[in-house]
Structure 1
Amino acid sequence: MKKTLLATAIAGALGASAAAQAATVYDQDGTQLIVNGRIAMGIAGGGPEEVRNGQAEDNGAEFVDVYSRLGISMSHQINSDLKAFGRVEWRFTGDERNTANGFNEVRHSYIGLESASFGTVMAGNYDSFYNSHVAAPFDVYIDQGLNLTEGVGGGYQARGDSVGYITPNLSGFQAFLSAKHYSERGETNAEIETNGDDEIVTQGGVKYETGPLRLALGYVDDEDGRAGGSGEVLYGATASYAFTDNFSARLGYETRDSNDAALEAGGDAEDFDGFDTWGLGMTYAMGQWAFNADVYNVSVDNEDADNGWDDRTAWAAGAYYKVSSNFDVFLELYQGDQPDIDVSVTDPDVDVADGDDMYWLTGARYHF
């Protein structure tokens, strides 16, 4: 999925490195095979303390892998208008947490057909269409602060058992629709009773791009039960504008109703409560440098500060420097503005999980 207009500036400084350095293994008679990936290492620290077994976990600094991955893209030009394509991508964790296991996630594995006249159809394990087309203007961070709700990412009711369609570009307009199937196959009646019935959840929307302006509107059927969602539909809209080749700004809004039945049954507010979120951000690139800054205002329907759910104003910022076409370094900051969480422990010195610590990540990436 291509990056949006909003990310153009930072892609020029950093993201284009990966595409430029991808290795074309085979390119003959309309058939192409490309290998690409990255190895990324960093140090992360801070962020809201998680609660486990009634106590707050430490959130000190740690050496981490930063989403290293290896991918293979393939395509075949069937005729002047129709192309078949496929991609598989693995994620591996290159630190001590996974050195004995190799790859730990198949991030992408899909095939499809692309036609300039009829559009694109694809099936398999691919990113959320909502994230790729609607929330994408805010997807300019390596780690935290990717999007408006700070939780909607590439896997949001997507990746695996999915079929999608994207219309051709009609004078700047495109529509998109994807469906994911959660199946009962291979389960016993007892397991189905526990996990829920099979479900098909959809997401889709429209976008419009002309010159420096990009607009997008979409939804995700965040079904409860087997799909594990909130049981309510998420709606979102984003607008982005490139004022110059170096500076672009973005505005976004997301909303979701409360699942009152789930809340009354004892469900966590974070999972089932409604919210309204506004996001405002910018990207600026200058030479080998690129910078991001975003602020999010989150208004929730039912505040539950004791359990970490409250109105808040979060922000994210990042600085990136391209050392070479293959190598870049970065620093990202994220302040979630989460309330502290009371925890029940016997030690009076450890009775609160600090939700207001700033998360930071710094490191380097080598693209190939």
Structure 2
Amino acid sequence: MKKKLIAIVVSAAAVLPAVAMADITVYGRAHVSTDFLDDGADYSETNISSNSSRLGFKGDHQINPDLKAFFQIEQEINFTNGGDGNGFNTRDTFVGLSGKKFGAVQLGRFDSPFKVARGPANLFGDQVGDMRNLTRVGNARFDERYDNTVQYTTPSFGGFNAKLAYSVHEGESAQVDADGDSLKTDSMSMSLNYAGGPFEASLAYEQAEEDTGRGERDGIRAAAAYKLTDAFKMVGFYQTLDYTGTDATSDATRDLLTSDVYGVGGEFKVAANTAVKAMWMTRDADADSYDSDMWVVGVEHKLDKAVRIYANYAVVDNDDNVALTPWGQARTATPGGAAGEEATGFSVGLRYDF
């Protein structure tokens, strides 16, 4: 299916006049790593992973001086095996209108404001050691793209802007129960964001109703970054999630998925194109013996603006009843962990943005 869609798009681009393609950009990311992963028990293997690699098309059209239309279509691309995607829209895909005075409105399927709000503190995104290994656990997770979403983004006021997104329902159409009553499958997400000078921060809230696929839950997230010098940046992160689930959810499950996650990190440029990074995070669950700590160190070198190489070493230390790993998110190589063990990962990666 994906091959057919790509062929159609490429063929159409080849026959369109150059002027018609002037505002359309083909972009993407090839991100692959070689990883040695050890769960602390029986698994200790070398893997090659495709890490949120993607191909996309985006563009805009100036309707008049005060109004612009824009779109994006983005697909995850697996560089290591065939994958299982069935459509050309598995990542952020949307269409919308924007203006300098009123901001932007978009509709489609894309990262929620809550998900994007981790950005200021996201030192190891899509790599071994990604913070989502602790923030995105089980059915309580919130780092999501929601179906059937409309989002409003305000203009920037003194470095501040706000995002408000509402997902009408999951799936192709709204659903009803056996009595004909509407199921509550909507979700809401919002964030307040600031970027100015050496400081960048986001504060977000998200809530999902009881009939969504993972049940009722809500959360608050805060992330910040501050450049103490041109070479050194400090970051901090905090998240609290309250998981209610459904009527059938046990109190024990609610306790193990309700949690606080927080951490600090830093990035130091040792040369113009080379940085050393480190971060420590902890997940504190309401349930006993379900806590985890993660720390990660890495070095990244940019060969130029488009290509970078890196090496990371990450560890997750688990309590007796939990089996998290530092490699479980945003990657194709995701073997499971072992409860109560210390999982370690060493990764060498190449990322090419085009």
- Say whether the fold is shared (TM-score over 0.5): yes
1:361 aligns with 2:347: yes
Query: SS state of the match for residue 60, structure 1?
Result: strand
Question: What is residue 200 of structure 1 aligned with on the other side?
Answer: 186
Q: How far did 1:214 drift? A: 2.1
Q: Which amino acid aligns with 2:202?
A: A
Q: Take 1:200 and 1:283, find their aligned partners in 2: how far apart are those partners?
A: 38
What is the total number of aligned residue pairs between the two structures? 318
Q: 1:76 aligns with which of 61, 66, 69?
A: 61
Q: Which amino acid aligns with 2:119?
A: A
Q: 1:215 aligns with which of 201, 204, 222?
A: 201
Question: What is residue 160 of structure 1 aligned with on the other side?
Answer: 147
Question: What is residue 336 of structure 1 aligned with on the other side?
Answer: 316
Q: Take 1:85 and 1:264, find their aligned partners in 2: how far apart are those partners?
A: 45
Q: 1:121 aligns with which of 77, 98, 105?
A: 105
Q: 2:165 aligns with which of 162, 170, 178?
A: 178
Q: CA RMSD in A?
A: 3.5
Percent identity of paired positions between Structure 1 and Structure 2: 23
Q: How far did 1:245 drift? A: 2.6
Q: How far did 1:79 drift? A: 2.2
Structure 1 contact 241–248 (Cα < 8 Å) conserved: yes
Question: What is residue 136 of structure 1 aligned with on the other side?
Answer: 119
1:318 aligns with 2:298: yes
Q: Which amino acid aligns with 1:172?
A: G
1:284 aligns with 2:268: yes
Query: SS state of the match for residue 106, structure 1?
Result: coil
Query: SS state of the match for residue 150, structure 1?
Result: helix
Q: Which amino acid aligns with 1:209?
A: A
Q: Take 1:74 and 1:155, find their aligned partners in 2: how far apart are those partners?
A: 28
| TM-aligned CA distance change 1:324 to 1:241, over 3 Å | closer
Q: How far did 1:199 drift? A: 1.8
Q: Take 2:118 and 2:255, find their aligned partners in 1: how far apart are those partners?
A: 23
| TM-aligned CA distance change 1:81 to 1:146, over 3 Å | farther
1:66 aligns with 2:51: yes
Question: What is residue 21 of structure 1 aligned with on the other side?
Answer: none
Question: What is residue 108 of structure 1 aligned with on the other side?
Answer: 92
Q: Take 1:27 and 1:113, find their aligned partners in 2: how far apart are those partners?
A: 24
Runs of at least 5 residues in structure 2 that lack an aligned partner in the other structure: 1-15, 324-337
Q: Which amino acid aligns with 1:361?
A: S
Q: How far did 1:157 drift? A: 4.3
Q: 1:32 aligns with which of 2, 15, 23?
A: 23
> Equivalences for 1:40-51 in 2 at 5 Å?
40-46=31-37, 48=39
Please give the TM-score of this superposition, normalised by the length of structure 2: 0.77
Q: How far did 1:356 drift? A: 1.0
Question: What is residue 3 of structure 1 aligned with on the other side?
Answer: none
Greater RCO, CA 8 A, separation 6+: 1
Q: Which amino acid aligns with 2:131?
A: N
Once the two structures are superposed, residues 272-297 of structure 1 have per-residue CA deviations (whole angstroms, 9 ceiling, x without a partner) of: xx222222111223222123211113
Structure 2 contact 160–193 (Cα < 8 Å) conserved: yes
Question: What is residue 20 of structure 1 aligned with on the other side?
Answer: none
Please give the TM-score of this superposition, normalised by the length of structure 1: 0.74
Question: What is residue 147 of structure 1 aligned with on the other side?
Answer: 131
Q: How far did 1:84 drift? A: 1.1
